Structure 1
């Protein structure tokens, strides 16, 4: 009976979601927002068709290994074909690659890992970004390092290590640019896991020390001690939503939540800085749980859901990942957060289409924006794969 009720609720949500999309009863992108959508589509990050077909009816939100695995594979398999057709080293793809690596571990299916190995060899284990690649451009190093740790061929991390060693003494983003190396909150997902994984690969403490130094600086600049959320960058500390509240972007907070999880996962167990990261995970999780909507979702503008009525799935997926990790690692109380996670996962699955597309992903940017319900981009799917993979660990406990 309970399963019938769950399935019925899923179907009802799917019908409502489909009706919303069909009737266009949601704010449409402005000309500037549409220009970014068009650019992201041209760059093969994903797309946002007017009609993406019917929503999936074969997925259950039940937190069982079988049901999570089915939901994971449905989206992963749809995306994998597209990924191998349009390869790139840019951050949007790098996030997806991290998701595929996690999916391979979670499912035991080597095809995802093997595809990432093939891509890495095709890239010759190199980075974008010239002499001073920033956090976005080293994000692909997460995949390179994970592949290296499974098969320690030096060429896999040689260029990455060279760039880290050259950048470690830079106090700013690059010569002539006085911004912090991690001046925007997204960077806390892109870069710290690379640095701590390099410590894991080499045993050299300097890589962990760099993370501690730079994260503290970014925290001091961007973390709001009242709201327990990060400003996207310093310019957003004084900006406000139409309702007068501060602007906190769901995907930006998702990047930090996921970055905390991926950093804590690798950080030495006895590292004295560990409580610094764990406390942020607890504070941010509590805040995000308090503003989760009735459907288990979060809006692009977290504190102004009326202005941004559509649920945003890339931020939600990254938040689920961070919370599930927190429960698994013992930083978050399971009795408190499992219901939050379960409700959020149920909400995410209402955005999966029959063919495996994950919709509701906002186009690239730095702040809340409007998008179609069908909108699907690779970085959001990377977050979804990370979330599903961590959920499988959670249900095994």
Structure 2
């Protein structure tokens, strides 16, 4: 009797079962405790290692984004260590926005302030933010003038929609929407479904002759867009436009994820800078996961990419909890080193983690 066919069948079955197990493992949402631990490790390390310079007015936004992520982490986990740290930071700043009245970067603190207000209900926590925007509403400028760089769509719009939600005053939503769409009409490339960082990139090309679309710049837009969709009433006349923009960008961003699960500094020319980059990648994982959780994106299509991205991000967190490969403060695709870290990267990582926690 020839036993070879039986042995071959057994071996084949083992290989197939092993392959199925690997695929199942790769498509499985990570356990909640594992995600919480990853978030806590990054949070604790970053709090213990504040970036020198981010306390200065000009770079205040870089730290403020971290605290936006911290408040999202608290909202999802109810872990008081997040809330206590955010309150400590906000109280040290007296719940005031930074100094430049008309500069969107200096509005970013308001994201965390308004989330803290939703818990504490102290009017003093939002008084400064409201005062700044009331002043701007009296002397408005066009979006392409005031929010002339795409990063601004993360910094200011999420504050405005929260302020409208808290106060019930729709003037903040209307102002936000008018500004947003003027900026979008100015900076959005309808062929690529991506945003130029600012007008200086309209005609510029990479050394390889490709257009230049900065990863973190588009990450800023998607991070802001998600928050607008969360807080803007669905009855608002422009809500569908925001939905359509989100879907266009999500499809494009998902299509250019790299094999290692991350995105490169120049989204449409990954060969310009081949190094890893985790701040833009964190925002993309956050935004795509949010879309799955809220029924905008097909889970079968997009979940594998979210999980691949989340796995890749965690591989860039060292044993101490430091998120590495974070492009430094800048305005275009650039070289990133393995040791590079910044507080906004950790904030985006926390945002991504909160959406992983919501997945089933």
User: Scaled by the length of structure 2, what TM-score is found?
Assistant: 0.89
Q: Would you say 1:383 and 2:348 are equivalent positions?
A: yes
Superposed CA offset, 1:87-125 (max 9, x none): 736100110000111112232211111111111111111
SS of the residue aligned with 1:261? helix
With over 3 angstroms needed to count, the CA separation of the structure-2 counterparts of 1:311 and 1:3, relative to structure 1, is farther
Q: Following the alignment from structure 2 to structure 1, what is the Cα–Cα distance between the partners of residues 144 and 75?
A: 37
Q: Give runs of aligned pairs for residues 50-69 of structure 1, distance below 5 A.
A: 63-69=30-36
With over 3 angstroms needed to count, the CA separation of the structure-2 counterparts of 1:157 and 1:242, relative to structure 1, is same
* Residue pair 1:100, 1:385 contacting (<8 A) in 2 also: yes
Q: Would you say 1:284 and 2:252 are equivalent positions?
A: no
Q: Would you say 1:118 and 2:88 are equivalent positions?
A: yes
With over 3 angstroms needed to count, the CA separation of the structure-2 counterparts of 1:87 and 1:302, relative to structure 1, is closer
2:212 to 238, 247, 257: 247
Q: Following the alignment from structure 1 to structure 2, what is the Cα–Cα distance between the partners of residues 169 and 123?
A: 26
1:312 to 277, 291, 296: 277
Q: Following the alignment from structure 1 to structure 2, what is the Cα–Cα distance between the partners of residues 234 and 274?
A: 26
- 1:136 is matched with which residue? 105
- 2:9 is matched with which residue? none
User: Scaled by the length of structure 1, what TM-score is found?
Assistant: 0.81
Superposed CA offset, 1:71-90 (max 9, x none): 11111111122349987361
Q: Would you say 1:92 and 2:62 are equivalent positions?
A: yes
Question: Once the 2 structures are TM-superposed, how far is the Cα of residue 311 of structure 1 from its aligned partner?
Answer: 1.5
Where does structure 2 lack aligned partners over 5 or more consecutive residues?
1-17
Where does structure 1 lack aligned partners over 5 or more consecutive residues?
10-60
RMSD of the TM alignment (CA)?
2.3
Question: Once the 2 structures are TM-superposed, how far is the Cα of residue 4 of structure 1 from its aligned partner?
Answer: 9.4
- 2:312 is matched with which residue? 347
Question: Once the 2 structures are TM-superposed, how far is the Cα of residue 347 of structure 1 from its aligned partner?
Answer: 1.2
156-165 vs 88-97, which moves further: 88-97
Instruction: Count residues in correspondence.
Output: 339
Question: Once the 2 structures are TM-superposed, how far is the Cα of residue 224 of structure 1 from its aligned partner?
Answer: 0.5
Q: Would you say 1:70 and 2:40 are equivalent positions?
A: no
- 1:81 is matched with which residue? 48
Q: Following the alignment from structure 1 to structure 2, what is the Cα–Cα distance between the partners of residues 145 and 108?
A: 17
Which one has the largest radius of gyration? 2
With over 3 angstroms needed to count, the CA separation of the structure-2 counterparts of 1:238 and 1:171, relative to structure 1, is farther
* Residue pair 1:135, 1:191 contacting (<8 A) in 2 also: yes
* Residue pair 1:192, 1:263 contacting (<8 A) in 2 also: yes
Q: Following the alignment from structure 1 to structure 2, what is the Cα–Cα distance between the partners of residues 84 and 361?
A: 12
219-228 vs 97-106, which moves further: 97-106
Q: Would you say 1:169 and 2:134 are equivalent positions?
A: no
- 2:186 is matched with which residue? 221
- 2:357 is matched with which residue? 392
- 2:73 is matched with which residue? 103
Whose relative contact order is higher, 1 or 2, with alpha carbons under 8 Å and at least 6 apart? 1
- 2:12 is matched with which residue? none
